[in-house]
Amino acid sequence: MNTETTNRRRDACHLRIKEDDVTLIDRAALVRGMTRSDFILIAAREAAQSALRTGVTSTPSTIVANPDLVR
């Protein structure tokens, strides 16, 4: 494995998350065998890539109302 890749610095990103959301995220991460941080990072990356691909400007409430926007 490339040591440059494995030693790459990761910036911190602090979030304030409701307890119900933390529980949901933790359960989903556990099912996938992932840490909470990795699960959130992957979900955020996928949402960002989707937004850039589709060019759709949306908020979490519009995504909930129109889930097809991110597919």
**Residue extents of the structural domains in the chain:** 17-70
Question: Is the distance from CB of 38 to CB of 29 less than 8 angstroms?
Answer: yes
DSSP string, the chain: --HHHHT-----------HHHHHHHHHHHHHTT--HHHHHHHHHHHHHHHHHHH-----HHHHHH-GGGG-
Query: What is the spatial distance between Cα 19 and Cα 54, in angstroms, rounded to a whole number?
Result: 31
pTM score above 0.85: no
Average pLDDT over residues 41-60: 84
The string of pLDDT tens digits covering residues 12-47 is: 889 999 999 999 999 999 999 999 999 999 999 999
For residue 65, name the pLDDT band (cuts at 50, 70, 90). Answer: low
